[in-house]
Structure 1
Amino acid sequence: MKLKLILAAVLAATAVAAQAQTAPVKIKVAHFLPSISNLQRDVLEPWCETLREESSGGLQCELYPAMAIGGTPPNLISHVRDGIADVVWTSPSYTPNLFPAMEAIELPFVVPADGLGGSRAMWAYYEQHARKDFERYKVLALHSGSGQNLNAVKAPVQTLADMKGMKLRSPSRVSSRLLSALGAAPVNMPASAITESVSRGVADGALAPWELVTAIKLDEIARFHTEPPAGKPAYFAVSMALLMNKKKYEGLPAELKAVIDRNSGLPLVEKFGASWDRATEASRKRAAALGNTLVVQKLEDYEAMRKAAESVEAEWIEEVKAKGLDGAALIAAAREISNKHLTRAN
């Protein structure tokens, strides 16, 4: 009888262990945009579904949009590092000094304005020059948030003179330096605060990409949108990263790691880029339907802004020198990579 009880206990324990091994792994995915955003509907939800299907239910996402996981957008980097979230989508530029090498490709007038070309350029630059910045994370994708345009409330921005004294939302310290160099007054704020701030007059407009303009309904307040000439680099673009907690990834069984690996890297980067381009086109159409004014800047005015922004590069080169980085070499590399994808994108 004793032997039977022991055998029964062993069998029960084995069954529990087997069940635990086959229990789905929950992946907490956090970001700062609304659940109706292009990001969630067009990229994250299909990505999560692919993970679930290819793992036969072994990987299951739990989505936390609009900072439902707690904190503010700049906290997402520490959330994923510390395991509060398993995966986050955020911008490295929201946490200054943590990703210094990556900043080179975020400098003004460097990266292609479109989502696909810009994303390919950013991924190539990361792989060649910025891996060390992200050693504490499992990098699933790193893409461009598309070129940031000049979105204004009262009148279109066409020349340097139009910029003078304008209070414009800035997403990062690099973009703040750009706006200052162009004569504007940068107002730093996260994406979630833009629409309310502009509606209250805290800012006269915003530096923001088309995808975001629609997501936060900025086009209902800021009705003038200025873009660079076709085929020219963006005024500015932020890098966006899909990062995974390294310990969470390393603790997965080999077969689940393989599913994640198959669905990350350049293929995922290109999905982000293509999605952003579709969103850009839809946003342009929506702005036109609202009766907004869309301006493609004249080449001479664009080049005048580009010239005025040269001081931003010089300042950045001196700043990163103290971190042991050759800023001039990194900028040259970023431009070389971007120019290849600029040609391809146009």
Structure 2
Amino acid sequence: MIQRRHLLSALPAALAAPALLRPSAARAQEVTLRLHHFLPPVANVPRYFLTPWARKVEADSNNRIRVQIFPSMQLGGAPAQLYDQARDGVADLVWTLPGYTPNRFPRLEAFELPFIANAKAAVNARAAQEFAETHLAEELREVHPICVWAHDGGLIHANRAVATMEDLRGLKLRFPTRLAGEALRALGAAPIGMPVPQVPEALSQRVLDGAVVPWEVVPSIKLQELVRFHTAIPGNPTLYSATNILAMNRAKYESLPADLRRVIDANSGISAAAAAAAPYDDQAKVVEEMVRRRGNQISAISEQEKARWIETTKPVIAAWQSSMQERGIDGAALLAAAQALIAKNATAAG
């Protein structure tokens, strides 16, 4: 009887034990993710995409996921090392441009060829994400891609006006990707490759005469204060776009509990790519107006001149296809797929 009383008295404590463990178990499943990138927090993509994305992931997980954002390379390294930081776990998440590491992502370069991309980021971003889901599993196998996108059409921002190819001759222009550099070289410019945070110092020291970037980047590097002339490419297709990726360390993703993986998945893919595109298209108008009010000169080359540029840069596309063939990759098929996706999404966007 004494033993039975002891057993009955012990039951409430035994039944309570799992409940007492639950807070500890919940804490064990909380996770902090470090998101590393190369621009200041006030830049448009961090401000209007990365930060809202992080806060949404936190809210969707009932704050079991916390995303710490480290801007301006605060975790160390250089922008060209960000992808490897995600691969190696130096950071859990990174935003970077594949073009910072030339020839490493050859299939994705289809979107970076001259006069292939649309002028609108909303079109390019959705197309690039769809392309990634179909064609880039092998190329991006070292990380877990959250989303892939390509920005809107970039402009030529320079210390002298550009209306023709002849105006480009010898102009030292920063380019973001290998193929943008090849296109500028074909047009007569003297292209110089570097990550965008290095542009202000290079302009101040006259290492550069200008840069090709989309409007949304301009205020983050005070480009409107460093050059006075801004040249757009009219209509579609546009001169160039650069691809971007928000990538996660694969082991970190796979270590998450299933319900937290579902939160990440719900904030990945097309919906994330579309959200990433918004700052480019939305802020382009805002930044252009700000630059105009400042008194800088904004112009566009003529359609006739654009036709000359398209013809002049065709060898860049042919050389890319040849190099892809040497690597055993069907570049022509990839280019056709990219163009078809851009056309499809342009039609959908109206």
TM-score by length of 1: 0.92
Query: How far did 1:165 drift?
Result: 0.8
Whether the 8 Å CA contact 1:111–1:121 is kept in 2: the answer is no
1:201 maps to 2:227? no
CA distance in 1, matches of 2:62, 2:344: 39
Residue 161 of structure 1 is matched in structure 2 by: 166
1:285 maps to 2:283? no
Whether the 8 Å CA contact 2:112–2:177 is kept in 1: the answer is no
Residue 343 of structure 2 is matched in structure 1 by: 339
CA distance in 1, matches of 2:125, 2:38: 20
Alignment gaps of 5+ in structure 1: 1-7
Query: How far did 1:120 drift?
Result: 1.4
Q: Secondary structure at the match of 2:208?
A: coil
Find the partner of 1:227 among 232, 237, 248: 232
1:80 maps to 2:86? yes
Residue 3 of structure 1 is matched in structure 2 by: none
Whether the 8 Å CA contact 1:178–1:312 is kept in 2: the answer is yes
Residue 216 of structure 1 is matched in structure 2 by: 221
Q: State which structure, 1 or 2, has the greater radius of gyration over its C-alpha atoms.
A: 2
Alignment gaps of 5+ in structure 2: 1-12
CA distance in 2, matches of 1:276, 1:304: 27
Residue 122 of structure 1 is matched in structure 2 by: 128
Letter in 1 for 2:228: R
Query: How far did 1:199 drift?
Result: 2.1
CA distance in 1, matches of 2:42, 2:163: 32
Whether the 8 Å CA contact 1:151–1:223 is kept in 2: the answer is yes
Change beyond 3 A, Cα 1:73–1:13: farther
Whether the 8 Å CA contact 2:112–2:242 is kept in 1: the answer is yes
Aligned-residue CA RMSD (Å): 2.3
CA distance in 2, matches of 1:112, 1:345: 11
CA distance in 2, matches of 1:71, 1:186: 24
CA distance in 2, matches of 1:271, 1:284: 21
Whether the 8 Å CA contact 2:111–2:150 is kept in 1: the answer is no
My pick for the range that moved more, 96-105 or 186-195, is 96-105
Q: Secondary structure at the match of 1:309?
A: helix
Query: How far did 1:341 drift?
Result: 2.8
CA distance in 2, matches of 1:98, 1:202: 27
My pick for the range that moved more, 71-80 or 215-224, is 215-224
Letter in 2 for 1:216: I
CA distance in 2, matches of 1:259, 1:76: 24
Residue 38 of structure 2 is matched in structure 1 by: 32
Find the partner of 2:279 among 257, 275, 284: 275
Residue 5 of structure 1 is matched in structure 2 by: none
Provide the aligned length of Structure 1 versus Structure 2.
Answer: 341
TM-score by length of 2: 0.91
Find the partner of 1:147 among 150, 153, 161: 153
My pick for the range that moved more, 207-216 or 74-83, is 207-216
CA distance in 1, matches of 2:333, 2:74: 40
CA distance in 2, matches of 1:182, 1:87: 37
1:308 maps to 2:305? no
Find the partner of 1:176 among 181, 184, 187: 181
